Amino acid sequence: MSEQTQLRHLVMSAPGIPPHLLVSDVADLFMDETHGKLLSLPVLDGDRPVGVISRARMQQVLFRQYGREIFGKKPVTAIMNSAPVVIESDVALNEASKTVTERLKFPVTEDFIITEGGRYVGMGAVMHLLNAMEAQLAQQTADLDTAYKQLKASQLQLIQSEKMASLGQMVAGVAHEINTPLGYVKNNIEMMEMFFEGNRDFIGACTALADVLLSPHSTEQDLQEKLGALATLRQGRDAGDDEDIPRLFADTCFGIDQISELVQNLKNFSRLDRAAAADVDLNECLDSAVLLARNVLKNRVEVVRQYGALPRISCMPSQLNQVFLNLLTNAAQAIEGPGRILLKTEAEGDWLKVTVQDTGKGIPAEVLPRIFDPFFTTKPVGQGTGLGLSISYQIVQQHGGDIRVTSQPAKGTRFTVRLPLAGAGITQASQGEAA
Amino acid sequence: MSEKANILFVDDEERVLRSLEMLFRNRFKVYTTVDGNQAVDICRRERIHVVVSDQRMPAVTGVEVLRRVREVSPNTMRLLLTGYSDLEAIVNSVNEGEIFRYLTKPWSAKEITNTVNQAADIALSLEHEAGTDTGGAAPGVLVIDEDPTVVEMVKAICGKDRAVNWSVDLDEAFETLAANDIAIVVCDIRLRGRDISAAVKALKESNPMVLTIVQTQLQDVETLRSLINHGQIYRFLPKPARRGLLEMSLEAASRRHVAMKAVPRLASRYQVEKNEQAPVVALSNRLLGYLDKMRQGRSS
């Protein structure tokens, strides 16, 4: 226990009164300026406290008619409080405070006695005790506040690292998604270049032939020459190419659209929107998440969408995207082999409901209560941080909503996210935290 | 080559297949499939000279496809074409797929044409020379690694009937290579704090008969990709060395070496891609001298 939190440093020195001292002499002591601050003086038998006499008690006695005459010559023991509150100096402040409130009959007018090993060392004032207690409380509050801030900071870091981890996985997946269309688009364009080079030569030969045909000075030999050149070029041409060129263009445009779509989604997802955006269509958010999760869904998992007509709501779309992507990824990972994910949205009273239901292996009943706990994961090391659901839970909570889960082993799991229709009621503070 | 080689492309995106088919159909008979299992069937049924597979596909991974193709049709040249850099996949593509090249998406039409042409030429030239696993003298091993536990492990595995040389210095290592009949090199790509992957690649280029087992802690996708394409390493193993893995790799390498010795042209399967950035410059003149000596030794 530290010095600060003990009674010792509250000790005020006050002269002890021997038990036989007369009341009138005690009155003189109280009138002495040096003891002006003391509410009471201790009565000591040697160094053992036997009572306490307070300024208020003295006044009560002496102000009485003939008070000084009646009591002045009596020993102080006649009027003292013979059951003083005595507290050892090494007692903790809060302990002392407890004793004082329980036992001190006149806390406003009386001091208490402080002893060390039963021997008097000085007086303690209730006021000082209160001040010290307050200071101690303030210190504790400050400590708690610091601890809370540190906790908050490390939690933010965790959220950030989870975001980076899932973003990292996603980016790697999306890179693959982009590289595939990029692969055939580039190849197609390089082939078209070769094709058009061939065409240029062919058109050149045609033009040369036309020139010969139109010229009055052309000889039979000129004609043969040009016809021969054209025939050679024609032989080298792949008849299939002409038919395939439209297809090549269509594929190329398709690939470029696909790349644009992926990039757009990536942009939407990672947008650092600290402020809540108004007018967000949750169905669009879900579509965006499905696109980004394509990598885990592939052709293996069929996504069935049952979207209701949803009013737009005010929320932080990039965060809700993170929630939906997390739920989708979990659902896809729960499905071994082929399966189905049902995405259902509906407006119900004052709430929007988003359901993500999979036909996966389900969550065992004993695990279910823990799935939202931070760091709880059943995935192998490296596949999950154990933070995904706990962060999703926080995000939804900050939006004023909730996530519920039901699961049947071997049948599948259903997560239901509910969000309030009337704007998410996101506070300024929680926006800062979640960003 | 008058005969047309058969090429199989495997990718779950049919636009990739269409694109590649158009690029190659004039030169080869082109087969395509979006299904990895079907790819293995095609290789079992048809005489496929070259297979080029995507890695990330829904049902079967590309490495798995290539591993099974290697079983059903060992002479088919195997190439991976992927847009996803995943270390485990690339390690397995070496150890299980024994791939000829690791190509990345997006690719260049010219480069993929050259690479596939080269693979097809090699496959056609070796078509009637499939190496059989015959017995023979156990080939010598050279360990280039400063960690003595590695050489102890190799010695324990090889026993008395195979010579195991050990070197912790590149010059000395190449001297040993030039002077002895070494078939297998077990090495790290860092030696005394320096990157020796250029030497590993140069060694394979100058002597394709030598099989390289790289054992390292380093796990970098680009380095590994380059070790495949420019160094045609035979196995890539993690460190600390594990005896079981090393033993299996050494046995496989020995069998491979024996087969190549019986049919030297089999070594052409391990032709490396010429490195245009020419890291060979980084090699010392002395090293280059040894490499020349080895080249001459082979041609004489």
Examine the domain organization and report whether A118 and A229 are in the same domain. Answer: no
pLDDT at A1: 43
Q: What three-state secondary structure class fits B210?
A: coil
Examine the domain organization and report whether B153 and B217 are in the same domain. Answer: yes
What one-character DSSP code corresponds to residue A34? G
Tokens of A243: 């038919």
Q: How buried is A278 (Cβ within 10 angstroms: 0-12 exposed, 13-18 middle, 19+ buried)?
A: exposed
Examine the domain organization and report whether B117 and B202 are in the same domain. Answer: no
What one-character DSSP code corresponds to residue A117? T
> Distance between CA atoms of A250 and A255, rounded to whole angstroms?
9
Which residues, at least 6 apart from A411, have a Cβ–Cβ distance to it below 8 Å? A359, A362
pLDDT at A199: 86
How many angstroms away from the CA of A397 is the closest CA of chain B? Answer: 36
pLDDT at A322: 82
Examine the domain organization and report whether A253 and A281 are in the same domain. Answer: no
Tokens of A293: 């999760």
A432 band by pLDDT with thresholds 50, 70 and 90:
very low
Q: Could you tell me if residue B135 is inside a domain?
A: no
CATH code at position B120: 3.40.50.2300
Query: Which residue on chain B is closest to A240 by alpha carbon?
Result: B22
Count the domains in chain A. 3
Q: Which has the minimum average pLDDT: A178-182, A319-323, A381-385, B192-196? A: A381-385
- Contacting residues of A for B13, CB less than 8 Å apart: 180-181, 184
Interface membership of A175 toward B (CB under 8 Å):
yes
Examine the domain organization and report whether B146 and B181 are in the same domain. Answer: yes
Where does a domain end: A124, A156, A181?
A124
The reply to whether the predicted model has a pTM over 0.90 is: no
pLDDT at B278: 52
pLDDT at A429: 39
How many angstroms away from the CA of A172 is the closest CA of chain B? Answer: 7
Q: Could you tell me if residue A154 is inside a domain?
A: no
Taking CB atoms and an 8 Å limit, are B58 and A299 in contact across chains?
yes
Question: How many CB contacts within 8 angstroms connect chain A with chain B?
Answer: 83
Taking CB atoms and an 8 Å limit, are B106 and A191 in contact across chains?
no
Please check whether residue A390 is in contact with residue A373, taking contact to mean a CB–CB distance below 8 angstroms. yes
Q: Could you tell me if residue A147 is inside a domain?
A: no
> Which tens digits make up the pLDDT trace of B133-172?
455 566 789 999 999 999 999 999 988 878 899 999 888 8
> Which tens digits make up the pLDDT trace of A322-367?
889 889 988 988 888 889 999 999 998 889 999 999 999 988 888 8
What's the average model confidence in pLDDT over B51-58?
89
Interface membership of B12 toward A (CB under 8 Å):
yes
Q: Which has the minimum average pLDDT: A149-153, A255-259, B59-63, B262-266? A: B262-266
> Facing residues of A346 across strands?
A353
Q: From the list A178, A183, A300, which residue is nearest B107 (CB)?
A: A183
Examine the domain organization and report whether A326 and A417 are in the same domain. Answer: yes
- Integer angstrom CA distances of residue A228 from A196, A200, A215, B165: 21, 17, 18, 67
Q: Could you tell me if residue A134 is inside a domain?
A: no
> Which tens digits make up the pLDDT trace of B11-52?
999 999 999 999 999 899 999 999 999 999 999 999 999 999
- Pick from A278, A220, A239, A212: nearest CA to A422: A278
> Which tens digits make up the pLDDT trace of B90-106?
898 999 989 999 999 99
pLDDT at A217: 86
pLDDT at B130: 55
Examine the domain organization and report whether A288 and A371 are in the same domain. Answer: yes
Q: Could you tell me if residue B202 is inside a domain?
A: yes
pLDDT at A152: 79
Examine the domain organization and report whether B237 and B169 are in the same domain. Answer: yes
Taking CB atoms and an 8 Å limit, are B83 and A191 in contact across chains?
no
Examine the domain organization and report whether A243 and A356 are in the same domain. Answer: no
Examine the domain organization and report whether A376 and A404 are in the same domain. Answer: yes
Q: From the list B18, B25, B58, which residue is nearest A251 (CB)?
A: B18
Q: Could you tell me if residue B1 is inside a domain?
A: no
Q: Could you tell me if residue A174 is inside a domain?
A: yes
Examine the domain organization and report whether B111 and B157 are in the same domain. Answer: no
Examine the domain organization and report whether B101 and B219 are in the same domain. Answer: no
pLDDT at A186: 95
Q: How buried is A283 (Cβ within 10 angstroms: 0-12 exposed, 13-18 middle, 19+ buried)?
A: middle
pLDDT at A184: 95
pLDDT at B275 over 90: no
Q: Which has the minimum average pLDDT: A75-89, A327-341, A371-385, B132-146? A: A371-385
pLDDT at B296: 67
pLDDT at A315 over 80: yes
Examine the domain organization and report whether B186 and B67 are in the same domain. Answer: no
B188 band by pLDDT with thresholds 50, 70 and 90:
very high
Continuous H helices in A369-410: 388-398
Examine the domain organization and report whether A177 and A302 are in the same domain. Answer: no
Taking CB atoms and an 8 Å limit, are B15 and A178 in contact across chains?
no
Range of the domain at A94: 3-124
CATH code at position A297: 3.30.565.10
- Contacting residues of A for B57, CB less than 8 Å apart: 298
Q: Could you tell me if residue B134 is inside a domain?
A: no
Please check whether residue B24 is in contact with residue B30, taking contact to mean a CB–CB distance below 8 angstroms. yes
Interface membership of B84 toward A (CB under 8 Å):
yes
Range of the domain at B288: 140-299
pLDDT at A49 over 70: yes
- Contacting residues of A for B82, CB less than 8 Å apart: 176
> Which tens digits make up the pLDDT trace of A97-111?
888 888 887 777 888
> Which tens digits make up the pLDDT trace of A288-299?
888 878 777 777
pLDDT at B264: 77
Q: Could you tell me if residue A137 is inside a domain?
A: no
Region label for B77, one of left (φ > 0), alpha (ψ between -120 and 50) or beta (otherwise):
beta
CATH code at position A56: 3.10.580.10
Where does a domain end: B60, B95, B126?
B126
Report the 10 Å Cβ neighbour count for A115: 18
Interface membership of B87 toward A (CB under 8 Å):
no
Q: From the list B54, B59, B84, which residue is nearest A172 (CB)?
A: B84
Where does a domain end: B91, B126, B161?
B126
pLDDT at B215: 92
ipTM of the complex as predicted: 0.79
Please give the sequence-ordered ranges of beta strands (E in DSSP) within A375-411, or none if there are none: 402-408
pLDDT at B67 over 90: yes
- Contacting residues of B for A172, CB less than 8 Å apart: 84-86
Q: Which of B9, B15, B61, B81 to mutate to test the interface with A (most CBs of A within 10 A)?
A: B15
Taking CB atoms and an 8 Å limit, are B106 and A185 in contact across chains?
yes
Examine the domain organization and report whether A240 and A278 are in the same domain. Answer: no
- The per-type count for chain B, helices as H runs and strands as E runs, is 11, 12
Tokens of A256: 């470029």
Where does a domain end: A199, A234, A267?
A267
Please check whether residue B221 is in contact with residue B180, taking contact to mean a CB–CB distance below 8 angstroms. no
Whole-angstrom Cα Rg for chain B: 19
> Distance between CA atoms of A143 and A140, rounded to whole angstroms?
5
How many angstroms away from the CA of B8 is the closest CA of chain A? Answer: 16
Please check whether residue A344 is in contact with residue A306, taking contact to mean a CB–CB distance below 8 angstroms. yes
> Distance between CA atoms of A276 and A318, rounded to whole angstroms?
10
Examine the domain organization and report whether B71 and B14 are in the same domain. Answer: yes
How many angstroms away from the CA of B82 is the closest CA of chain A? Answer: 8
Q: From the list B15, B20, B108, which residue is nearest A254 (CB)?
A: B15
Where does a domain end: B126, B148, B163?
B126
pLDDT at A3: 47
Examine the domain organization and report whether B276 and B156 are in the same domain. Answer: yes
Where does a domain end: A267, A282, A307?
A267
Q: Could you tell me if residue A152 is inside a domain?
A: no
Does an H or E element contain A343, and which? Answer: strand A339-348
- Contacting residues of B for A188, CB less than 8 Å apart: 19
pLDDT at B84: 76
Examine the domain organization and report whether B94 and B144 are in the same domain. Answer: no
What's the average model confidence in pLDDT over B65-69?
95
Only one residue has tokens 């003891």, namely: A35
Taking CB atoms and an 8 Å limit, are A176 and B84 in contact across chains?
yes
Count the domains in chain B. 2
Interface membership of B25 toward A (CB under 8 Å):
yes
Examine the domain organization and report whether A364 and A420 are in the same domain. Answer: yes
